[in-house]
Amino acid sequence: MSDDQTPTYVEKGKEFQRDTTYVSDRITRDARTPEHGPTDGRMWPVEAGRYRLVAAKACPWANRAIIVRGLLGLEDVVSLGMPGPTHDARSWTFDLDPGGKDPVLGIERLQEAYLARFPDYERGITVPAMVEESSGELVTNDFPWITHDLFHEWRDFHRADAPDLWPAEVREEMEEVMQRVFTEVNNGVYRCGFAGSQEAYDEAYQRLWTALDWLEERLTDRRYLMGSAITEADVRLFTTLARFDAVYHGHFKCNRNKLTEMPALWGYARDLFQTPGFGETIDFDQIKAHYYVVHTDINPSGIVPAGPDPAVWHTPHGRESLG
């Protein structure tokens, strides 16, 4: 980050490297030590009404937490705070709320929750973040484990018809699929957009489209990534696909073709978008404002494009016959 409060993302001559060091605390049933995932942080107990999920609609990593919370029926159990789409180098801000403050936490910047817990916190202020409402302190910002634990640890609060997002019979393969989706697609578009050299960009571009072609083939004869039912893997892929034509195709130079030109992936993306719990979490105006305004090193003019027309997301997808 720069000293003038303008976020910088592109390092000239370098490949983009995502900082994946997060606050590894977990929220678990009875504050138990879980069988999977990081256990080096503090364990917090699952408790209805204790925590607030802070997640901006603009951010794909936060978007997945919003979707999972809704699919599982946890809206009345874990509250939701939603920062606006733009931020400076310091923090996400609650500029969409009256008075520019989160109505529950009473803070203007998410940074305040991080500093309440860690006064000398020097890493990036990221969403999603789980915050304890009573203390206003950050609990965790470890995004893949937030959604994992919403499913595995909060089961007592799931609605009766909540989907099985982590089916045991396909879990091993699903972990492999999600890892490839993360490295090559979720993070792959960022490696293209934030490449600091032609060589870094060319390699990132090739890796991204190799993975997208693999997904196109995989989804040609199956409705969802793991078969006939929606899983966590679909949530993780969807948030990138939803942003592809609006942002990644042009802004991040992922422009071999548009999502709308890949029949299986485009049908799959619309299928999910039209499924309750998915499309209503997508705000294309916020998404475009975030990327085109915040990334001044890529788009110094700050001009936000008018298109594409979001109405195409509501057109028939025809994938019901796949299961």
Query: Among residues 190, 201, 268, 292, which one is catalytic?
Result: 190
Quick check: is 190 catalytic?
yes
Among 59, 201, 205, 224, the active-site one is: 59
Going from the C-alpha of 124 to that of each of 21, 68, 92, 175, 246, the distances in angstroms are 10, 24, 10, 27, 25
Neighbours of 87 (CB within 10 A): 24
Residue 254 is among the residues annotated as catalytic for this protein:
no
* Reduced 3-state DSSP string for 98-132: HHHCCCCCCCCECHHHHHHHCCCCCCCCCCCEEEE
Nearest CA among 255, 177, 245, 164 for reference residue 211: 177
C-alpha 270/C-alpha 108 separation (Å) is 35
Helix, strand, coil proportions of the chain in percent (round to 5)? 40, 10, 50
Residue type (1 letter), 78: V
Please identify every residue annotated as catalytic: 59, 190
